[in-house]
Amino acid sequence: MTLARRLWLLGVLVPSLASLGALVVAGQLFRYDLETALDHALLTQAAVESLSVDLFEGSEKRLRLNMSMYPLLEQVRPFAPRGELFGQDGRLLMRYPPSPDDEESDTASLMPGEPELQPHLSTRPLPDGTREREAVVSVRSPQGELYALRLTASLEQVDDSVRGYHQRAFSMAALLALTLLVLQTFLARRMAYRLSAITRHLKLLREGDFSQAPPLDGGADEIGQLREVLAEVTDKLRGARDAQDRLIADAAHELRTPLSLMRTRMDLALRRERGAEELRASFREARGEVERLAVLAGELLELAAVGRGEWDRKKADLVEVVSQSVEAARAEAEVRGLIIRLEAPAREELWFDPGGVRRAVDNLLTNALKFSPSGGEIHVRLWREGEWVRINVADEGPGIPFSERDSVFAPFRRLSGAKPGAGIGLAIVREVARRHGGHAWVEPSRARGAELVLELPTRSQFA
């Protein structure tokens, strides 16, 4: 079912049917209230007539209904009830107002009951299709004679009122349905246009086209929020594609250099006859390039492994992981004449991947060992700051220029004058931080050496 049909169904048809049903029920309740009010009026009139002294006035028993003496008789005649009085033998004694058919209806009879009985109310249909409501009560005269009083009122006015209510109510319901139809049609077309724009953009993403953002629609509702999220996703996909292209280009460049050197040395070795010692030296140089390629391939695989797949995130002691990394680096530090100092609390538990964080701290220490001068110190500090836990690794090396403090975390980025290496280690550090919802940066306030920071959240979103 299309969006337009769904909106027409739920926004027009269902509310219209519900409104019609409610109007029908309200009409029946309205009719019930009108008929109840008519019953009360008949009973009130019956009470007035039965208590009136004019009903049995004088010793001559001159019968007279009180309604015949209304001051506004002519004004109320169209809707006033008719009254009939029957004797104790059931014979009709009088009727008011008089009817042209009185002579034909003299055969009408109604036996009075006991005055203590409740008034009898009933509805009867007439030959012309209308209905009338009647109330029958039994009254006793001062002389002790029983009479039956019947008051009858036409329900035609009630039916006319209900009919008028239905006509006006259904007209308003039709107007409401038409208004809803126009509004829902406008909304359906508007939403269909906005969603079709998002659908077209998703098709472009499916084809690998990340060059343009989804079109603006000016909406601030859920569809607008979806568009904003989709725009952010597109930006990230574009950035990931650009980073992938740069990584491939940098990896190709890094691989081409040792391969070119190996080919050059092999060409030189094959160009003329050489002695065993010269060949052995050429093979040693080629082996060094092969080892460099192996290191580069291993670090590329490590970077790829860090960026994909599920990690073993669990609640563990971060101090223990950092301490193990520091202890593992102290052996090389002693060879280089360096001292590694660790400043950390006794315990710091949080949700993280111990293997990934250990790899990141190892790379930070490897970077510090590479650039620290002999006899220097490497200071490792771990502490909590608000909702974050920070791991700082500071060395006394040449430091990192301000212009390169962000690019140093990109793959294959090496500082000028840096020692040989693939340039992958700090990229792994940033990727580990990102996968944990944290950050990695170079502290700008350090005057001597470099201070690199790995920041992890204490309340991991993966917990």
Of the candidates 48, 125, 129, 112, the one whose C-alpha atom is nearest the C-alpha of residue 81 is: 48
pLDDT category at 61 given cuts 50, 70, 90 is low
Residue 53, beta-bridge partner list:
none
Side chain identity at residue 58, one-letter code: G
Residue 462 pLDDT? 47
Side chain identity at residue 235, one-letter code: D
Question: What are the sequence ranges of the domains in the chain?
Answer: 3-161, 210-309, 314-457
Average pLDDT over residues 403-428: 70
Bridging pattern class, strands 377-385 and 131-140? unpaired
Average pLDDT over residues 22-30: 90
Of the candidates 228, 234, 239, the one whose C-alpha atom is nearest the C-alpha of residue 205 is: 234
- Distance CA(213)–CA(102), nearest Å, equals 91
Residue 104 pLDDT? 46
Q: How distant, in Å, are the alpha carbons of 191, 197, 206, 240, 260 from that of 203?
A: 18, 10, 5, 18, 42
- Distance CA(115)–CA(127), nearest Å, equals 32
Tens-place pLDDT, residues 74-130: 555 566 788 888 888 888 888 877 765 554 444 567 887 776 667 888 888 888 888
For 133, the token pair is: 């409501």
C-beta separation of 151 from 46 below 8 A: yes
Average pLDDT over residues 46-59: 60
Could you tell me the CATH superfamily of domain 314-457? Histidine kinase-like ATPase, C-terminal domain (3.30.565.10)
For 322, the token pair is: 């950092």
Composition of the chain by helix, strand, coil, percent to 5: 55, 15, 30
Average pLDDT over residues 403-409: 81
Q: Classify 309 in phi/psi space as left (phi over 0), alpha (psi -120 to 50) or beta.
A: left
Average pLDDT over residues 293-314: 69
- Distance CA(358)–CA(382), nearest Å, equals 14
Average pLDDT over residues 401-419: 71
Side chain identity at residue 388, one-letter code: W
DSSP state of 56: G
Residue 146, beta-bridge partner list:
140
DSSP 11-70: IIIHHHHHHHHHHHHHHHHHHHHHHHHHHHHHHHHHHHHHH-GGGGBTTTTB---GGGG-
pLDDT category at 424 given cuts 50, 70, 90 is confident
Look up tokens 């033998």; give the residue. 89
CATH code of the domain made up of 3-161: 3.30.450
pLDDT category at 454 given cuts 50, 70, 90 is very high
Tens-place pLDDT, residues 170-180: 899 889 888 88
Alpha helices in 141-273 (DSSP H): 156-206, 222-271
C-beta separation of 350 from 460 below 8 A: yes
For 19, the token pair is: 């409104």
Dihedral sign computed on CA atoms, order 72, 78, 79, 85:
positive
In CATH, the architecture of 210-309 is Orthogonal Bundle (1.10)
Q: What is the pTM of this model?
A: 0.49
Fold agreement (3-161, 314-457): no
Dihedral sign computed on CA atoms, order 362, 244, 439, 443:
positive
C-beta separation of 303 from 432 below 8 A: no
Look up tokens 């990934």; give the residue. 356
pLDDT category at 463 given cuts 50, 70, 90 is very low
Quick one: how many helices (H) and strands (E) in the chain?
9, 12
